[in-house]
Amino acid sequence: MAPLEPSLASNLFSIGAERLALLGKHHKALMQGYLDGHIDETAFSEGALKKLIAARILWRPDEQQPLALRPLVSELIASMVADENRRQINADVAEKLEQIRNRVQAYRDAQFKGDYSVAELQLQRLTEHVHDLSGQFEEAIDSLWHRLNSDFGFVSSLDDKIRENERAQKQLRRLLDGLDLLDFNELIELSEGNNHLRKLLVSQLQNQLSSHHSSLLEVQKRLVQLLAKFRQQQARSMLIANMAAFLRQHPKYQPADYPNRSELPTLFNQAAAIRPQAAIALDKASERAVLAELVRALPRPSSIELPEQHSASFAELMVDEEIAARQQALKTDVENFYLRVIDQGGKLSALEYLAQQKLDWDSEIWLYQILAEYQALPLEEKRMFGILRDEAPASSVNQLLLIRDIQIALKAA
């Protein structure tokens, strides 16, 4: 950033320091004027009033009106103390965009002329405008959240809450309209390949506006929820208030005995009819004959002919059940094999056991299931057994080892 000329910087510093000192020196009287809406001139000397007016802190809107704080000073105080009743968020996007366009043009003109110090100064001003634009949206969103957390909780009636909600909805709509004015295609054209401008006008601004969009979406969800809640409370309050007004106008009113009426109004006839339940007392001999007659009167079930589609589904179901039964039988035989190993205590060949028990299983499936059961055992139980695989190459040219047999032994404890 190019520094300002020493004389100009010194002049700005002295003026700014003097006016900030005026604010600090008369802070109590100025704050009281902010709260009252006008300034008590007796709290200042004549010289102090002239300095405050010359410093653009105080002004007289009309000859017939007292002195007051300038709008920008009031807005500054409202922003610092989060006074939502006074603070006005200025989100004039069109004006900011015009300032950004002018700064970009001034920056390019300075670069074209080779005056790089002026170009740096214009880039600094452009950065300030972009940050101000994003900051105004952020301030407005903070104002909305503050309104949700304060104004709705402290207003005197539901009607006031609904009006506050409508105000917030309108402000939200204005902010969304302002965001829609930002055309990134135009900002990309303004950048024209300049890395600094592209980063400032496209990358940073787009990230900031995406965050603002997300925040506004959350605010809108909260406003809709609150409005629905307020409307529900308002409906209940109106019902109670109207009923109370009716009772005041008709003090001798007595509600009718609606349960004893043959035709109930629809408003009261909301409960479902009660269906009495009955059951035959089997312990009473007098009712056994009645039960027997009822059972004999029941229609006998006739054969049900399933449609072709249902028959196919039923056949598939039967096949699935048969497969599940065979899998369970295979698992049971393998478990018996392991129990035989435990009982004998020595080595036991899987294929020999298959032949001895005359089990109708394919040898490959039998060996695979024995390995699967061994791998599924817990670690403590797996240590109880020793497994020995009888392996041989598939052929003289294929060194793939095939399992010919498996021997399971019980390890000594």
Mean pLDDT of 178-202: 82
Write down the pLDDT at residue 283: 74
Q: With H, G, I as helix, E, B as strand and everything else as coil, classify residue 3.
A: coil
Query: First-to-last CA distance in the chain?
Result: 83
Contact predicate 201/190, CB 8 Å: yes
Q: Of the spans 63-77, 172-186, 297-311, which averages the highest pLDDT? A: 172-186
The residues, any chain, with a CB within 8 Å of residue 138's CB and separated by 6 or more, are 212
Q: Which residue has the tokens 């496209």?
A: 202
pLDDT of 12 higher than 80: no
Write down the pLDDT at residue 182: 81
Instruction: Please state, for a pLDDT cut of 90, what percent of the chain lies above it.
Output: 1
pLDDT of 346 higher than 80: no
Mean pLDDT of 197-214: 84
Structure-token pair, residue 242: 């109207």
Lowest mean pLDDT across 6-10, 64-68, 256-260, 408-412: 6-10
Mean pLDDT of 356-377: 85
Position 341 confidence tier, pLDDT thresholds 50, 70, 90: confident
Question: Which residue did the predictor score with more confidence, 266 or 305?
Answer: 266
Q: With H, G, I as helix, E, B as strand and everything else as coil, classify residue 304.
A: coil
Write down the pLDDT at residue 258: 64
Write down the pLDDT at residue 151: 60
Q: By C-alpha distance, which of 388, 390, 393 is closest to 404? A: 390
Position 228 confidence tier, pLDDT thresholds 50, 70, 90: confident
Within 10 angstroms of residue 136's Cβ, the number of other Cβ atoms is 18
Determine the Cα–Cα distance for residues 371 and 356; give it in Å rounded to an integer: 20
Phi, psi for 205 (deg, rounded to 5) = -65, -35
Phi, psi for 316 (deg, rounded to 5) = -65, -40
What domains are defined for the chain? 1-81 (1.10.10), 89-252 (1.20.58), 330-410 (no CATH)
Determine the Cα–Cα distance for residues 94 and 79; give it in Å rounded to an integer: 23
Mean pLDDT of 193-220: 83
Q: What DSSP string describes 168-182?
A: HHHHHHHHHHHHHT-
Write down the pLDDT at residue 153: 56
Strands 58-59, 348-349: pairing kind = unpaired
Q: Which residue has the tokens 């969800």?
A: 221
Q: Which residue has the tokens 């020196």?
A: 25
Lowest mean pLDDT across 2-6, 128-132, 253-257, 293-297: 2-6
Mean pLDDT of 294-314: 66
pLDDT of 18 higher than 50: yes
Q: By C-alpha distance, which of 312, 275, 292, 407 is closest to 353? A: 407
Q: What counts of helices (H) and strands (E) characterise the chain?
A: 16, 5
Determine the Cα–Cα distance for residues 201 and 188; give it in Å rounded to an integer: 8
Write down the pLDDT at residue 88: 47
Q: Average per-residue pLDDT in the chain? A: 78
Q: By C-alpha distance, which of 243, 255, 104 is closest to 187? A: 104
Mean pLDDT of 160-174: 81
Give the CA distances from residue 315 to residues 305, 311, 323, in Å, rounded to whole numbers and listed in that order: 14, 6, 12
Position 1 confidence tier, pLDDT thresholds 50, 70, 90: very low
The residues, any chain, with a CB within 8 Å of residue 349's CB and separated by 6 or more, are 405, 406, 407
